[in-house]
């Protein structure tokens, strides 16, 4: 029986795009279901009753939720083009940095760009986190070494969304001068063959971000 | 070369105890370093410079942080007595419920017992989450089936700490009547041979919780 792979996602969501990138790297064909988050489909609610969130992957009728858990599932199910390293210690490190991005860096950047109290303090925090990630990249092309791995995929927001949010908002943190390695990595990542075709189109994303930022400033 | 395993932890922390339980299940000997969180050791700061938190595991000089990441590392390094299932889908499910406990259930219970605004609403949320977990246990002895697995270990706070916090605070959510399966599981868990010896002593923990709760009510 051929694999039946369905992905419930949203085109502009970095979390959904993580899963699309991983499936593309593995060469897995899938059917994509674009969700309207203000009116979620009955199928999404059925497959992800606890969180009711995208991305949700359904493989041969079995549903998996939470993007990082989905990425590990994909890596364990389709063994070619590994996303995680083999060595347990290196795996733990990859998981650590993936969590760091989700739990520290992304929430802080979110607050910086979408507004918060203590804006100056949060901006300093975001810079510190970017510095930490910059140091972790060392002299590698990708966090995964020569190939795109878990941390790169989870970091898609930093690599692709942040430069466009910076362009739309005029608020610039991630520069070539301050974070030369991250900046170069961001470029390598978005131009990687399998990644490139699974990122949202530049103009569409930029327009979307601008409309979201206008929404924020209008509602202030 | 024999394995050198060091664990930096705190005796009353369910997160530290997760790692101790896993090492015990695997039969791995380790040296335990009790941390004073108000005056963290130079070694902890060296080994976990990003979060500076317990538990931190150091295996042959290499440091691993974050309890769930440590549990996966332990399971991948010592293959006997598996903590995670073999099948990728079941592994994803175990990770999903472990995350649910860390991201939903524990923070909500924490607010219920240690006070928060909207207390009634948060209590209702906690009950809902307990119900969700009750339903997931189904008719299994442990979340891991016949043996203690990832979700059981991550759930140690629910199984062992919550009954004692309830006793100390008089605020009771987890009862045999309302959650018969979780209640039975809690009993099975704390009486499991390898688990039992790695849980904090009842009286010491109870006294500690009482002192913490008094601290909260005094500072109000």
pLDDT at position A152 is: 98
- Residue A110 CB-density burial (10 A; 0-12 exposed, 13-18 middle, 19+ buried): middle
Instruction: Locate A152 and state its tokens.
Output: 């790169």
DSSP for B176-213, written as a single string:
TTT-HHHHHHHHHHHTSHHHHTTSPPHHHHHHHHHHHH
Q: pLDDT tens for residues B187-218?
A: 999 999 999 999 999 999 999 999 999 876 65
Q: pLDDT tens for residues B122-165?
A: 999 999 999 999 999 999 999 999 999 999 999 999 999 999 99
Q: Does the pLDDT at position A115 exceed 70? A: yes
pLDDT at position A145 is: 95
> Is the CB of A50 less than 8 angstroms away from the CB of B95?
no
Return residues 29-58 of A near B (CB < 8 Å): 50
> Is the CB of A92 less than 8 angstroms away from the CB of B100?
no
Q: Chain B residue with minimal CA distance to A48? A: B96
Q: pLDDT tens for residues B58-110?
A: 999 999 999 999 999 999 999 999 999 999 999 999 999 999 999 999 999 99
**pLDDT averaged over every residue in chain A:** 95
Domains and CATH numbers, chain A: 5-77 (3.40.30.10), 88-218 (1.20.1050.10)
| Chain A residues with CB-CB distance to B83 below 8 A | none
| Chain A residues with CB-CB distance to B95 below 8 A | 66, 69, 72
Interface A-B: count of C-beta contacts within 8 A? 52
Q: CB-based contacts of B176: which residues, under 8 Å, 6+ apart? A: B183, B184
CB atoms within 10 A of CB A4: 12
In chain A, pLDDT over 70 holds for what percent of residues?
A: 97
pLDDT-derived band of residue B116, with 50, 70 and 90 as boundaries? confident
Q: Chain B residue with minimal CA distance to A94? A: B69
pLDDT-derived band of residue B1, with 50, 70 and 90 as boundaries? low
pLDDT at position B123 is: 96
pLDDT-derived band of residue B220, with 50, 70 and 90 as boundaries? very low
Average pLDDT, integer, range A96-121: 93
């Amino acid at each position: 029986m051929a694999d039946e792979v369905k992905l419930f996602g949203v085109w502009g969501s970095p979390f959904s795009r993580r899963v699309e990138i991983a499936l593309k790297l593995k060469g897995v064909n899938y059917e994509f279901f674009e969700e309207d988050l203000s009116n979620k489909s009955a199928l999404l609610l059925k497959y992800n009753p606890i969180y009711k969130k995208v991305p949700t992957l359904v493989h041969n009728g079995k549903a998996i939720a939470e993007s990082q858990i989905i990425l590990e599932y994909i890596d364990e199910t389709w063994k070619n083009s590994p996303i995680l390293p083999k060595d347990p210690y290196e795996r733990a490190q990859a998981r650590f940095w993936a969590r760091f991005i989700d739990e520290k860096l992304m929430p802080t950047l979110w607050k910086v760009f979408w507004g918060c109290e203590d804006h100056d303090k949060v901006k300093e925090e975001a810079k510190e986190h970017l510095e930490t990630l910059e140091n972790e990249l060392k002299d590698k092309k990708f966090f995964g070494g020569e190939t795109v791995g878990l941390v790169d995929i989870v970091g898609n927001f930093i690599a692709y969304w942040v430069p466009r949010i910076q362009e739309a908002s005029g608020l610039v943190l991630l520069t070539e001068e301050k974070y030369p390695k991250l900046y170069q990595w961001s470029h390598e990542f978005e131009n990687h063959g399998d990644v490139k075709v699974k990122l949202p189109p530049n103009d569409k994303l930029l327009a979307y971000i601008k409309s979201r930022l206008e929404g924020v400033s209008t509602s202030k």
